[in-house]
Structure 1
Amino acid sequence: MSRLQLTQGLRRSADLFGDRVATIMGDRRSTWREVENRVARLAAGLRGLGAQRGDRIVILALNSDRYIDAYYAILWAGCVAVPLNTRWVWAEIAHALSDSEPSLILYDAHFAHLAPELAKTCPVVAMDGAGDGSPCFDALVSAYDPMPDESAGGDDLAMIFYTGGTTGRSKGVMLSHANLAGNFLAQQALLHYPSDTVFLHVAPMFHMADACCLLGMTAIGATHVALPVFDPAQVIDTIVRERVTAVMLVPTMIAMLIEALQDRDDDMSCIQRIFYGASPISEAVLRKAMATFPNARFCQAYGQTELSPVATVLEHEDHLRGYLRSAGRPIPTVDLRVVDETMQSRPFGEVGEIAVRGPGVMMGYWRQPELTGATIIDGWLRTGDAGYRDADGYVFLVDRVKDMIVSGGENVYSVEVENALMSHPAVRQCAVIGVPDDRWGEAVHAFVQLHPDGDVSADTLIAHAKERIAGYKCPRSFTFREDPLPLSGAGKILKTELRKLVTGQA
């Protein structure tokens, strides 16, 4: 029986659009036929280095055309791709390596300084020219003949994405071929990306949101344009030079692009689609964006990595009808309910936890069956997000059940930050919340009570935290208190009271 394979999208594009430009990275261009040949040779090289079917292979790299090669070569070889967050510090990288137990690690020049440490885990491969003696992509392509596609498919594991955890450790979200392929096809039923789309990747490719676009655009034969990092001026220059037609952005990026364009006179008329999500966006920024990109159809997506990733979409027509505060309605194949603590549905207009069922629901958390069982109940995934639905089925998010902060499109779990701060000997008690921020959507704010003999500054605590967690997770502001933090009758810190102190809202 034929099964959904992510590599089928690459094979299809090479067959139907072989001479079309597939990837653009600076001055480097490859056609779909060239990408397929390169991927088949790389896959053979990965096998030649000892990778076996089902093995995990880690990717630690910035965005590039080589990242696309890496994703597909891993799958082509029948292995499992494990992309890592490029903003992690070493302790976080080391945890993911220990947890996933990869057979190979692929890295780019940006992380070449870590190659000796990475090699202590397993063999390493440089995605670009290697000056440290590691085998590199170009050498493998030259040394190996193309191998047949031996990708797994269907409900087999395809990728593991690490996402922040409420226990203070990242957890691996297991997604199958069917999860990932089916989610894009459901989105495509609404969004109708044309085959000749020129898609710009500026959101990180290790994120599920951009990875979904990468896989989907490959399946329809679109052209990928990659930038290693987000820089507003470079994004604008690239849009103009390559006549980009579609892009996926987080709201922070949209705001920064609008600001940069105020001092420039660039033609943005080529942009036909802007796909955004990952964090809240203000109506003012959204209205400015719609004016700045007059030919663009705007689409907001709500979801999470555990949903492969999209659950709802706010279509362009919904924007025009004034639903700017909504996260949209469920995509085809997705059931969505708003439930109480016992998983009973709540009436329209009443707030509860959003639960989702459908083919995009993850296989589970890697090696964490108890957490998986607590998250997926009778096929329904508990998102941890609070919201409500109106009578027309539009979803409105009002808060997060879990203590997660979304800053610049990145998920930050408060307990992870609290653990880092509490490891300082001067800290007696702390609590972390998200506060509104015009630039980042939300910023991390820490309430800290020191020991009686404790003497430490905010700068010192930030430096201490940066040794343990990524910089974007660290507090941007502090409130130092002499009194203990407010507690509930059960002894839990009342973060609702703390939010009132900073924002005036619970």
Structure 2
Amino acid sequence: MNVTALLGDRAVAHPDRIALIDRVAGQWRTTTYAQLEQASQRLAAHLQQQGWRAGDGVLILQPVTADLYVVIAAVLRLGLIGIFLDPAANLAANLQQFPPRALIASRKVALWRWRYPPLRSLPLGAIADRWLTDSPSSEVLTTRYDAPAAAAALVAFTSGSTARPKAMLRTHGLLLAQHQALKPVLQFRAGAIEATALPLFVLPNLAAGLTVLLPPVNWRSPGQTHAQPVINALRQHRAERLLAAPALLQRLTDWSLARGVSLPDLRHIFLGGAPVLPALVAQLQQLAPAAEITAVYGSTEAEPIASLRHTAITATDLARVQAGGGLPAGQPVAAINLRILQPQVDDSARSLSPAAFAAATQPISQVGEIIVSGAHVLSSYLDPADNARCKLRVGETLWHRTGDAGYLDTQGRLWLLGRCRGRVQDGAGTIYPLAVEAIANNYPGVRRSALVSLSGERTLLIELAAPTNLEPLRQAITPLGVHRLERCRRLPVDRRHNAKLDYAVLERWLARRR
């Protein structure tokens, strides 16, 4: 087993098909499947000659270009473990969790790495961004490491938006299972041009034979992306599909609709990485009238969990959102098992008997924590201590506790109510964040909001995108027991998708207010 075999199959079947379109030094560049395969073979041979063997960890510091996927393919081909750092975390702290044996970096990073003590001692295995252009070696490695399903493939980190970033080890088996789980959701169509602004999804797209356009986005902060170059790229390359986080798509719709710009070539838009609001879906329908819009719910540990097409959202659903019912996430995907765990189940619970588990799960329409299991769900964090809060064993099945609150409706669809840790409990009962925030965030002029408790009073913090009359919003949330609105200059969000509230920062801010 080796996930790169799928890429090799594509190179054999369609060698001249364009695999990647990226922008380098101000110019567009195309890479065919044959070129991707050959470049990764050359790099793999080079790394093997240096003495790196299966199981060795390799730190990868390379921007999101075609070169990055050459490196990933070469690393996985050899059975090495690719390590990706969380940009929001301390470099030394990340490296302590999984110390690498070598570094593969861009020319730029290779020059400045001496300024960072954690990188100085790492041997430079290769310059990442040279194997497609001025390869220093013509030798190739055509064989692949035959990896057991449990063999480590990639180490990455959770976003840290809801807790300390945790190191995750993805195996070859998990990557292949994730690819299979994504197939019915993303409806892969070989040869279609997809603009992919979520780096995690590029590898599955390549394995499916798509042509992946890497748009000129701000990869470190998607919500700060300049929209015009991205729109121009989508139009120039006639992208048929677009996959991105809501924060980026909001930037694109705001810019385009203000100028009467549309994307008639788009046939599919996929959103992931943060809650998807009905208002954004409506704007995307204006931007791309011919596109089918699909919201994909998941987490770093389990992607995908559920999906929802915009055509399945009814007027009744929208009324439920406005009444405090949260946001619809759609039917759980076929590859996943999903339950709703009762809120009173302690965070420290490590295992339950099957009978106790059955008694601890919620019936239809009752709120609790969303938990999942399946072949594409991460079974363990790198540090076993991180499993204490997030993993629950029931017999032979290991369940992942997402930390998200939600419920299943009578149609079996999942509804989201926000982070469990964000719920407010007071004399009036318990209220979950998205019950209120989904109403506010859908309101004209509101960029984002946060439900909190200030001085024992339910309070909605509001960050505005434009001046607006908040009185109708105040009236809409009063039935939910929220009587206080407070404007904020800026609410803290995660650095990865720029959309989810950063609860660690928010809680520190609230502690100073109390």
Q: Secondary structure at the match of 1:326?
A: strand
Amino acid at match of 1:380: W
Amino acid at match of 1:360: H
2:5 maps to 8
Instruction: Kindly report which structure 2 residues correspond to 1:243-258, keeping only aligned pairs within 5 A, or say none.
Output: 243-258=238-253
1:375 matched to 2:395: no
Amino acid at match of 2:292: R
Aligned match for 1:345, one of 361, 365, 368: 361
User: How far off is 1:276 after superposition?
Assistant: 0.5
Q: Retained in 2: the 8 A contact 1:80–1:159? A: yes
Q: Retained in 1: the 8 A contact 2:273–2:297? A: yes
User: How far off is 1:261 after superposition?
Assistant: 0.7
CA distance in 1, matches of 2:461, 2:5: 44
User: How far off is 1:280 after superposition?
Assistant: 2.2
2:373 maps to 357
2:266 maps to 271
Q: Retained in 2: the 8 A contact 1:245–1:271? A: yes
Aligned match for 1:144, one of 123, 139, 142: 139
1:198 maps to 193
Cα-to-partner distance string for 1:59-100 (whole Å, 9 max, x where unaligned): 223211111111111101111122223x436xx122112221
Aligned length: 413
Q: Retained in 1: the 8 A contact 2:328–2:414? A: yes
User: How far off is 1:365 after superposition?
Assistant: 0.7
User: How far off is 1:152 after superposition?
Assistant: 2.1
Q: Retained in 2: the 8 A contact 1:42–1:141? A: no
CA distance in 2, matches of 1:45, 1:127: 12
Shift of the 109–438 alpha-carbon distance from structure 1 to 2, 3 Å rule, reads farther
CA distance in 2, matches of 1:183, 1:363: 13
Aligned match for 1:227, one of 215, 228, 232: 215
Q: Retained in 2: the 8 A contact 1:53–1:79? A: yes
User: How far off is 1:51 after superposition?
Assistant: 2.1
Amino acid at match of 1:50: G
2:40 maps to 39
1:58 maps to 59
User: How far off is 1:481 after superposition?
Assistant: 8.5
Aligned match for 1:162, one of 143, 157, 161: 157
1:395 matched to 2:396: no
User: How far off is 1:401 after superposition?
Assistant: 1.7
1:214 matched to 2:209: no
Shift of the 190–200 alpha-carbon distance from structure 1 to 2, 3 Å rule, reads closer
CA distance in 1, matches of 2:11, 2:32: 8
CA distance in 2, matches of 1:100, 1:267: 45
2:123 maps to 123
CA distance in 1, matches of 2:511, 2:197: 40
CA distance in 1, matches of 2:202, 2:239: 15
Q: Secondary structure at the match of 1:270?
A: coil
User: How far off is 1:140 after superposition?
Assistant: 5.3
Cα-to-partner distance string for 1:6-55 (whole Å, 9 max, x where unaligned): 11210111011111111111322121111101111111222233322111
Cα-to-partner distance string for 1:433-463 (whole Å, 9 max, x where unaligned): 99554669xxxxxxxxxxxxxxxxx99xx9x
User: How far off is 1:258 after superposition?
Assistant: 0.9
Counting aligned pairs with the same residue, the percent is 23
Q: Retained in 1: the 8 A contact 2:158–2:167? A: yes
2:102 maps to 104
Shift of the 137–196 alpha-carbon distance from structure 1 to 2, 3 Å rule, reads closer
CA distance in 1, matches of 2:233, 2:161: 38
Q: Secondary structure at the match of 2:129?
A: coil
User: How far off is 1:373 after superposition?
Assistant: 4.8
2:322 maps to none
CA distance in 2, matches of 1:190, 1:14: 24
User: How far off is 1:390 after superposition?
Assistant: 0.5
Cα-to-partner distance string for 1:282-340 (whole Å, 9 max, x where unaligned): 32222111121111111111111111x21111134324677563111111121100011
Segment drifting more, 107-116 vs 57-66: 107-116
User: How far off is 1:229 after superposition?
Assistant: 2.8
1:18 maps to 15
Shift of the 32–352 alpha-carbon distance from structure 1 to 2, 3 Å rule, reads same
CA distance in 2, matches of 1:53, 1:388: 43
CA distance in 2, matches of 1:439, 1:126: 42
User: How far off is 1:391 after superposition?
Assistant: 1.3
Segment drifting more, 398-407 vs 350-359: 398-407
What TM-score results when the alignment is normalised by the length of structure 1? 0.73
> Which blocks of at least 5 consecutive residues in structure 1 are unaligned?
130-135, 206-210, 409-413, 415-432, 441-457, 467-471, 486-506
Q: Retained in 1: the 8 A contact 2:340–2:407? A: yes
1:297 matched to 2:292: yes
Q: Retained in 2: the 8 A contact 1:24–1:226? A: yes
Instruction: Kindly report which structure 2 residues correspond to 1:279-358, keeping only aligned pairs within 5 A, or say none.
Output: 279-307=274-302, 309-319=303-313, 323=317, 325-340=327-342, 341-342=344-345, 343=357, 344-358=360-374
Q: Secondary structure at the match of 1:75?
A: helix
User: How far off is 1:243 after superposition?
Assistant: 1.0
User: How far off is 1:113 after superposition?
Assistant: 5.8
Cα-to-partner distance string for 1:256-284 (whole Å, 9 max, x where unaligned): 10111134454511111111122223322
CA distance in 2, matches of 1:321, 1:43: 54
Amino acid at match of 2:305: A
Shift of the 480–294 alpha-carbon distance from structure 1 to 2, 3 Å rule, reads closer
Amino acid at match of 1:258: T
CA distance in 2, matches of 1:290, 1:377: 40
Q: Secondary structure at the match of 1:364?
A: coil
> Which blocks of at least 5 consecutive residues in structure 2 are unaligned?
219-225, 319-326, 346-356, 424-432, 442-449, 451-458, 467-487, 496-500
CA distance in 1, matches of 2:329, 2:168: 23
Q: Retained in 1: the 8 A contact 2:281–2:310? A: no
Segment drifting more, 179-188 vs 397-406: 397-406
Amino acid at match of 1:312: A
Shift of the 227–347 alpha-carbon distance from structure 1 to 2, 3 Å rule, reads same
> What's the RMSD between the two structures over aligned residues?
3.5
Amino acid at match of 1:6: V
Cα-to-partner distance string for 1:131-180 (whole Å, 9 max, x where unaligned): xxxxx775655253334222525222211111145996421112222222
CA distance in 1, matches of 2:311, 2:511: 48
Q: Retained in 1: the 8 A contact 2:405–2:419? A: yes
Aligned match for 1:94, one of 78, 92, 95: 92
Q: Secondary structure at the match of 1:328?
A: strand
Shift of the 475–113 alpha-carbon distance from structure 1 to 2, 3 Å rule, reads farther
